[in-house]
Amino acid sequence: LRIRLFNFSLKLLSCLLYIIRVLLDDPRERNGCWGCSNENHNLTNIDRSPLIWVDRSLPLWGLQVTVALISFFETMLLAYLSYKGNIWEQVLRIPFILEMINTVPFIITIFWSPLRNLFIPVFLNCWLAKHALENMINDLHRAIQRTQSAMFNQVLILISTLLCLIFTCICGIQHLERAGNNLTLFDSLYFCIVTFSTVGFGDVTPQIWPSKLLVVIMICVALVVLPIQFEQLAYLWMERQKSGGNYSRHRAQTEKHVVLCVTSLKIDLLMDFLNEFYAHPRLQDYYVVILCPTEMDLQVRRVLQIPMWAQRVIYLQGSALKDQDLLRAKMDDAEACFILSSRYEVDRTAADHQTILRAWAVKDFAPKCPLYVQILKPENKFHVKFADHVVCEEEFKYAMLALNCICPATSTLITLLVHTSRGQSAPWEAFRQLTGTKQTQTRDGHQSHEQWQKMYGKCSGNEVYHIKMEESIFFTEYEGKSFTYTSFHAHKKYGACLIGVKREENKNILLNPGPQYIMSATDICFYINITKEENSAFIKQNEQSINSISNTIYHGASRLPVHSIIASMGTVAIDLQDTRCRPPAGPTLTLPSGGGKESRRPSIAPVLEVADVSSIQGCDLLSDHSEDEMNHSDEEATSAPEYVKGYPPNSPYIGSSPTLCHLLPEKVPFCCLRLDKGCQHNYYEDAKAYGFRNKLIIVSAETAGNGLYNFIVPLRAYYRPKKELNPIILLLDNHLDDLLRCGVTFAANMVVVDKESTMSAEEDYMADAKTIVNVQTLFRLFSSLSIITELTHPANMRFMQFRAKDCYSLALSKLEKKEREKGSNLAFMFRQPFAAGRVFSISMLDTLLYQSFVKDYMISIARLLLGLDTTPGSGFLCAVSSLFPFLENPNI
């Protein structure tokens, strides 16, 4: 490398000495001419003496001879060392010929002094400098063990070629015009730039035919050489656009970025990620680097060209299994790495295997980079247990399908909580003022004429937030009080729904731990609200204005009636109209001046500040008696099947959470599990013959996979009353005869699980065609049947319970279009099947993983809500039926 650098510097020095000689030489003085005579010349009879002889001072000649001698001996030494038996192979090389032209004449002038002023085209050394530069760059990358960028190399070649052409043309025309107009070096530079730029002013032109011929030759050479260089550069540019190039190390160290690793990037997945990731104002300055092994499709390319994303999203084509590609993405400097599985693959197990290898590769390359992994099959989850956050698709899917049967619209509740919806316009306006974010936010459904849609759209903005109790305005006054007291009064006073806590010294989150839990100043409070407490402003009213029953009003950033939060939790609520005059809406909370009990309106029942220990029964999970079963008659008790509480004896896969369930005292023989075939223990062949007391839950699935365990466990959880346990029938076929045999006519719910074999289709969104048509057939044949369906694509929800001539459905379709035009992330939320929890897509839960980057507790809370995890002392999700006569009572 040092030899290459020395050679490159030597050639540049020779070109510099040539320029100095030109600037010092005046051809009109004819000082260097040897044996010249003064004669008249014209265009045909050119004075050749200025072209042959130049004025070269002795010091300058000495320097040029020294450079020539060094170059000559170096060239001869390299030719000797690289000799391989064929001398002509060395002699006929263009670099060797140029070296001889520029060095041998100087050596001759040493022995014959009259030739010291002989013109020698030293400016041709620029081509040798170009050749040395290319070799030097190659050696440099080899020395630092760095792979050379083809784009960088091609750009370097193009620029050096262009400079050499211009420099050769400048020096050639200047020298030839010594016999003509005696152009200076600057005039020659001006002429070349004007000529090569195709402007051609004509104020400076060559006068003699040799210089004109040189211009023609140089233009022809440029027309041949430059297009070839540009073609190669364009090809490399197109290839680089496909592969994405590299993420700058300087940017990685000065700016924050996350890496998204996917098998194939679809437009829906990309937009879900970008909308959810950049919904948080703290992440506005983050860059997103997408690492994908496939080429970017046209839809994704169009989206990434939008200025909003073009400056923040970088697409790299590469594999996470290659350290070189991980280095391109600067994975070791990334704030997080999201690894998503391809759920549209026919073989989902193979897709999980690819995800596992990607997670291992990233962990090996960047051990300190936080990992957010999405896995499809629950049996593969333990392979990525080391990841910081893991979401198993089938676990969440089956748990939500099960809870939809007993807690209607559970899937809707979870989906709205894990999406950053826009909810009210007022909170987001306050949010923008406090955080400086420039995102345009409008309330979902605010233009609707339906009251339920306005309330539903308003409450869709509720999210889960956390705050330390001693730093909170909502909860700090309740230190030392019970959890139920704190939750009740904080909700009544501020509209914030406290759902869980976590001790500072404990890692487990407790959802509704009950009245025996005493709030501490160091507790982390988890609450549901329209916006986080830090983004709210508070105004304290005078005592004269708070004597009425509604003395706590929630304005501006979270102006909601008490039941609004409850409505967002999936239960029934009625909008109690507040006709009292309100101050102008703003991002404020109006608080009562007196915080005592006398200013609070009465509740349904007294809520104790501290739990009465004597009234709290001991928590015996293995007890066979539950509160709802204490008042049953003996006849009902004898007719109900016998159950015992315990843990399932066999775990279907490694990593499944043990959950206390209702179990049969003895294991049922495998032959008795077939509903359509009798055996030696019973002769029943249809559901009606069994005479089930409770309505059935039918599950239509392609296979009985391990994920089905997470469907059964919530329906058999220990906290469910025995009298409400529904028989579960697994249907592996969908023929009409089989449906009738399994008791579809008297079933409570039928769950249609998306089939793996139909998740991929040649045309986008056609993967759900078979499922939609089959469900529509069931809907037409059994209109009273509650059908819960899983779809691959959320956009296909509009086809569920499709009625072509239903005016109400058409109005909802128009509302959905308006929401989509405004950029809503949940435009489909107003469709009745989704709002009722009758349909959902597991892809809607992708945002749970994305939201965990900001809220690292979201996955834990979601798992507790769905019953996938159980924590001692924590509550569970259930539904309460509200009767309208009770709701008419203003005290309820």
**Domain ranges, ordered by start, for the chain:** 2-242, 247-387, 421-613, 661-875
Rounded mean pLDDT, 554-583: 35
3-class SS of residue 590: strand
Closest by CA to 206, choosing from 162, 175, 165, is 175
Residue 148 has a pLDDT of 53
Rounded mean pLDDT, 800-812: 75
Angle between helices 410-418 and 393-406 (to 10 degrees): 130
C-alpha distances out from residue 866 to 11, 413, 523, 675, 711, Å:
75, 11, 23, 29, 10
Residue 611 has a pLDDT of 55
In the chain, the percentage of residues whose pLDDT exceeds 70 is 77
Compare 127 and 202 and report the one with higher pLDDT: 127
Torsion of CA 835, 840, 842, 844, to 10 degrees: -30
Which residues partner with 66 through β-bridges? none
C-alpha distances out from residue 189 to 166, 192, 193, 268, 494, Å:
8, 5, 6, 55, 77
Strands (E), 318-370: 336-339
Residue 33 has a pLDDT of 57
3-class SS of residue 303: helix
Residue 446 has a pLDDT of 57
Rounded mean pLDDT, 247-268: 88
Compare 611 and 848 and report the one with higher pLDDT: 848
d(CA 303, CA 191): 45
Residue 805 has a pLDDT of 74
Closest by CA to 464, choosing from 503, 439, 430, 498, is 498
Rounded mean pLDDT, 128-135: 88
Closest by CA to 221, choosing from 172, 174, 181, is 172
d(CA 211, CA 234): 33
Residue 239 has a pLDDT of 74
Q: CATH fold of 421-613, please?
A: Alpha-Beta Plaits (3.30.70)
Contact at 8 Å (CB) between 367 and 382?
A: no
d(CA 775, CA 782): 10
**pLDDT tens track for 180-224:** 778 888 888 888 888 888 777 777 888 888 888 988 998 898 888
Contact at 8 Å (CB) between 587 and 424?
A: no
Structure tokens at 758: 């139909």
Residue 207 has a pLDDT of 82
Q: How many CB atoms are closer than 10 A to CB 279?
A: 22
Residue 296 has pLDDT above 50, yes or no: yes
Compare 181 and 166 and report the one with higher pLDDT: 166
Here the contacts of 448-453 (C-beta below 8 Å, separation 24 or greater) are 448/815, 448/830, 451/575, 453/815, 453/830
DSSP string, 162-230: HHHHHHHHHHHHHHHGGGTT---HHHHHHHHHHHHTT---SSS---SHHHHHHHHHHHHHHHHHHHHHH
Torsion of CA 390, 396, 397, 401, to 10 degrees: 180
Residue 435 has a pLDDT of 37
> How many contiguous H segments (helices) and E segments (strands) does the chain have?
31, 20
d(CA 653, CA 157): 59
Element (H, E) at 392: strand 389-392
In the chain, the percentage of residues whose pLDDT exceeds 90 is 22
Compare 36 and 312 and report the one with higher pLDDT: 312
Closest by CA to 806, choosing from 829, 825, 779, is 779
d(CA 719, CA 371): 35
Residue 885 has pLDDT above 70, yes or no: no
Pairing type for strands 497-502 and 510-511 reads: antiparallel
Residue 507 has a pLDDT of 84
Residue 472 has pLDDT above 80, yes or no: yes
Residue 85 has pLDDT above 80, yes or no: no
Q: Give the sign of the dihedral formed by CA 768, CA 770, CA 774, CA 780.
A: positive
Residue 758 has a pLDDT of 66
Structure tokens at 808: 């109400």
Q: Say which residues have a Cβ less than 8 Å from residue 190's Cβ, sequence separation at least 6.
A: 204
**pLDDT tens track for 400-446:** 999 999 888 899 999 889 888 654 333 333 333 333 333 334 445 55
d(CA 77, CA 71): 10
Rounded mean pLDDT, 837-858: 90
Report, at the CATH architecture level, how domain 247-387 is classified: 3-Layer(aba) Sandwich (3.40)
Residue 426 has a pLDDT of 34
**pLDDT tens track for 515-564:** 999 999 999 999 999 888 877 765 544 444 434 433 443 343 333 433 33
Q: Which residue type, as a one-letter code, is found at position 621?
A: L
Average pLDDT, the chain: 78
Element (H, E) at 498: strand 497-502
Residue 118 has a pLDDT of 86
C-alpha distances out from residue 502 to 81, 609, 865, Å:
76, 19, 15
pTM above 0.85, yes or no: no
Compare 84 and 617 and report the one with higher pLDDT: 84
pLDDT band at 230 (very low <50, low <70, confident <90, very high): confident
Pick the range with the lowest mean pLDDT from 491-495, 499-503, 739-743: 739-743
Compare 294 and 642 and report the one with higher pLDDT: 294
Torsion of CA 562, 563, 564, 569, to 10 degrees: 120
Residue 499 has pLDDT above 90, yes or no: yes
Residue 734 has a pLDDT of 64
d(CA 407, CA 570): 8
Residue 77 has a pLDDT of 86
Give me the residue label for tokens 């001398």: 87
Structure tokens at 333: 């400097």
Residue 90 has pLDDT above 80, yes or no: no
Pick the range with the lowest mean pLDDT from 81-95, 422-436, 658-672: 422-436
